[in-house]
Chain A
Amino acid sequence: AQSVSQHNHHVILSEAASLELGCNYSYGGTVNLFWYVQYPGQHLQLLLKYFSGDPLVKGIKGFEAEFIKSKFSFNLRKPSVQWSDTAEYFCAVTPSLGGSYIPTFGRGTSLIVHP
């Protein structure tokens, strides 16, 4: 079974600072990778996803993530955060072929951006 680890549980930044949230997964085969965001009081929504092709994926609101297969990582980045980016961020993984098709979510990283 696959697993996902998000190392940073809480991140506090000032506006305009750069952001990088770590996500590592464990699974022996090929995977699909996702980042979801949950704004305060709201439901989870997709930020970006990687299925295949260019390992650098661009999502909404200026976010991007890079899949590094050798490191089993899919870190989320944003060059300059805004106060409105305050939210909980979840990394998720599903096998591309075979295995358990049920997505596995990380525990989430809480981001607070000070204005």
Chain B
Amino acid sequence: DAGVIQSPRHEVTEMGQEVTLRCKPISGHNSLFWYRQTMMRGLELLIYFNNNVPIDDSGMPEDRFSAKMPNASFSTLKIQPSEPRDSAVYFCASSAGNGIGETQYFGPGTRLLVL
């Protein structure tokens, strides 16, 4: 298995632009997580999907952030408009079952820099 795939691996954009991050979970995994990692705040969970349905989005920082999972093999995290404080590494992770107690498999991350 190729593992969790994320694209792009690096993104540099200007403030105000729309940013779309993509994730392909491991085939057969039912749960998908989006995380943000910064030096200041560590690893933060943004949103969690189970069977393509958003279960908990309480970690999404504000309305500028949105996430979708149109099918079991694809998810997007969108930031519109982007701001410099959004600069971080964004990780996608997937796990089997309903995610309860399951090992998470992380993607390589997207390193986002907003100028």
Contact = CB atoms under 8 A, between A and B. Distances in A.
A45 B45 contact: no
16 contacts: A43-B106, A43-B109, A44-B43, A44-B93, A44-B106, A95-B100, A96-B101, A100-B56, A102-B33, A102-B48, A103-B33, A103-B99, A105-B42, A105-B45, A108-B42, A108-B43
Interface of A: 32, 34, 36, 42-46, 49, 51, 90, 94-96, 100-103, 105-108
B45 A103 contact: yes
Interface string B1-20: 00000000000000000000
Nearest to A45: B106
A102 B103 contact: no
A107 B42 contact: yes
Interface of B: 33, 42-43, 45, 48, 56, 91, 93, 98-101, 103-109
Nearest to B97: A101
Contact of A34 (B33, B99, B103, B108): B103
Which one of A42, A43, A49 has the highest number of Cβ atoms from chain B below 10 Å of its Cβ? A43
Contact of B100 (A43, A45, A94): A94
Given A34-B103, A45-B106, A95-B101, 20 more contacts: A42-B108, A43-B107, A43-B108, A43-B109, A44-B106, A46-B103, A46-B104, A49-B103, A90-B43, A94-B100, A96-B100, A101-B99, A101-B101, A102-B56, A103-B45, A103-B99, A103-B104, A106-B42, A107-B42, A108-B42
Contact of B101 (A36, A51, A105, A107): A51
A39 B106 CA distance: 13
B4 to A, nearest CB: 8
Contact of A101 (B98, B103, B105, B109): B98
A101 B48 CA distance: 10
B24 to A, nearest CB: 14
Given A105-B42, A108-B42, A44 B91 contact: yes
